[in-house]
Amino acid sequence: ADEKIKVALVIPSTIDDMAWSQAMYEGIKAVQAELGEDKMEVAVSERLWNAVDAGAAIREYALQGYQLIIAHGAQYQSLLNEIAPEFPKISFAYGTGFATESPNIFAYDPHAQEGAYLLGMIAGLKTKSNIIGIVGPVEAGDAIKFNKGFVQGAKAVNPNVDVRIAYTGSFGDLVAAAEIARTHIKAGADVLTGSSQQSVGAINVTKEFDKLFWLSTDMNQVSISPKTVLAAQVYNFKDTVKTMLDSRAAGELGGKHLELSFANNGLSLVYNEELAAEIGDDIKAKVEEAKGKLVDGSLKINME
């Protein structure tokens, strides 16, 4: 059918959070740019952090005839499981997640641990103090996956490294993240990382110091601090969205568990070109080698 496809996006924070939500928003926008505005209509509802409001939004989009409704958060799983059966003609998607209880639900699942492993390697190789700090939000979901991969990557290249994790207890409190970053730094860390939208607060702190590096995830956060962000794991949701649209066009409204990994280009690792001097070819080589192993499956990250 060449009529316009209507896609709705429900996100917990905002389209400009430089993290999780923005990554998906840009993915959808990229698809739209490719298909053309006349072929695809996009609606976004932001700040639907809590499940009640999200539920209303999703239902409303469903009633308005949106064909693909992406609820971009693990916390929306339960909602979709209830709503989807009532709208069998509409495709729903959520992530991070695995369960597709209805045939019209897609679950997508970025393998945060993979990029984290590579970032961990860079950190392990770059640290001079052998102390690396992680600024975590809440010890759950993607943050756990990220941290696990990161620690293993760092240890793999530098067994002496001390990776210290501290949590703010909140996803959005970027001042608290900044404080944790400062504490890490004062306690000797010289490479930092962290996940979720709060981490932008921590990245900003790194600017105040010399010879301090940050490794970012979800999005390429170099623009926040071009002098300290060394590399980033980037989620390419564009392909995920396209897969869903294609699958839908092919008559499959859902029921798939879509993974984002290096193997399927769902993830990518980008280096900060400005800091090319900091990441020598030796480091790059090691990282790229590990990435190859992740892709061919010979390197497995322990997720226990």
Partner 1 sequence: MKTTFTQRLGFKILIVVAALMAALLSGAVLFLLAGANPLQAYFVMFTKPLNGVFGLTEILVRATPLMIVALGIAISFRSGILNIGGEGQILIGAIIGAAVALYLPAMPKHLHLTLIFAASFLGGAIWGGIAGWMRAYFAVNEILSTVMLNYIAIQVYTFLIRGPMIDPQEIKYGTGVPQTAALPRELWLDKLIPGARLHTGIILAVILAVLVYLFLWKTPVGYRMRAVGAEVKASKYAGINVPKYLFFAMFLSGGFSGLAGAVEVCGVHHRGLESLSAGYGFSGIVVALFGALHPLGIIPASILFGLLIIGADMMQRSVEVPASIIMAIQGLIILALVSSQVFLSQEQMRLKLVKLLLFWKK
Partner 2 sequence: MLLEAITVIISTAIPLSVSFILAGLGEMFNQRAGTFNLGVEGIMLLGAFTGFYTVHHLHSNVLGLLAAMAVGAVMGLLMAVSVITFKATQGIAGIGLYMVGWGISGTLFRIYVGGITSIEGITALHIPVLSTLPVVGAMFFQHDIVVYITFLLIPLAWYVLFKTAWGLKVRAIGTTPRAADTLGVSVERIRYQCLILGGMMAGLAGAYLSICQAHMFADNITAGRGFIAVALVYFGKWHPVGIMGGALLFSLAHSLQRFIQVYGINFPYEFAVVFPYVLVIIVLALSHKSKDAGPTALGTPYEREFRG
Quick one: which of 37, 208, 246, 296 contacts partner 2 (CB under 8 A)? 208
Quick one: which of 169, 246, 280, 289 contacts partner 2 (CB under 8 A)? 169
- To 5 degrees, how large is the angle CA 188–CA 194–CA 198? 115
Tokens at residue 260, please?
Answer: 């984002």
Q: Which one, of 263, 204, 220, lies nearest residue 239 by Cα?
A: 263
**What is the distance between the alpha carbons of residues 32 and 34, in angstroms, rounded to a whole number?**
5
Residue among 14 and 81 whose Cβ is closer to partner 2: 14
Q: Which one, of 238, 222, 223, lies nearest residue 270 by Cα?
A: 222
Quick one: which of 45, 130, 204, 247 contacts partner 2 (CB under 8 A)? 204
Query: Closest separation between CB of residue 225 and partner 1, Å?
Result: 26
User: Which stretch in 110-118, 198-206, 241-249, 268-276 sits in contact with partner 2 by CB under 8 A?
Assistant: 198-206
Q: Which one-letter DSSP state was computed for residue 4? A: P
Interaction of residue 86 with partner 2, rule CB under 8 A: no
Interaction of residue 166 with partner 2, rule CB under 8 A: yes
Residue among 57 and 178 whose Cβ is closer to partner 2: 178
Spatial strand order in the sheet of 213-216: 162-167, 131-136, 191-194, 213-216, 229-235, 267-271
Quick one: which of 88, 170, 296, 303 contacts partner 2 (CB under 8 A)? 170
Which residues of this chain interact with partner 1, rule CB under 8 A? 14, 43-53, 55-57, 59-61, 63, 74-75, 77-78, 81-82, 86, 96-99, 109, 138-142, 144-145, 169, 303
Cβ-based neighbours of 105, under 8 Å, separated by 6 or more: 80, 81, 84, 91, 92, 93, 94, 99, 254, 255
For residues 102 and 131, the answer to whether their CB atoms sit within 8 Å is: no
Residue among 130 and 264 whose Cβ is closer to partner 1: 264
**What is the distance between the alpha carbons of residues 149 and 202, in angstroms, rounded to a whole number?**
20
Query: Closest separation between CB of residue 111 and partner 1, Å?
Result: 10
Query: Closest separation between CB of residue 270 and partner 2, Å?
Result: 17
Quick one: which of 77, 102, 168, 196 contacts partner 2 (CB under 8 A)? 168
> Choosing among partner 1, partner 2, none, which partner's interface includes residue 225 (Cβ < 5 to 8 Å by kind)?
partner 2
For residues 260 and 111, the answer to whether their CB atoms sit within 8 Å is: yes
**SS3 assignment, position 207:** coil
162: left (phi over 0), alpha (psi -120 to 50) or beta: beta
Quick one: which of 99, 175, 249, 276 contacts partner 2 (CB under 8 A)? 175
Which residues are at the interface with partner 2 (CB under 8 A)? 13-14, 16-18, 47, 133, 136, 139, 164-170, 172-176, 178-180, 182-184, 186-187, 189, 197, 200-201, 204, 207-208, 223-225
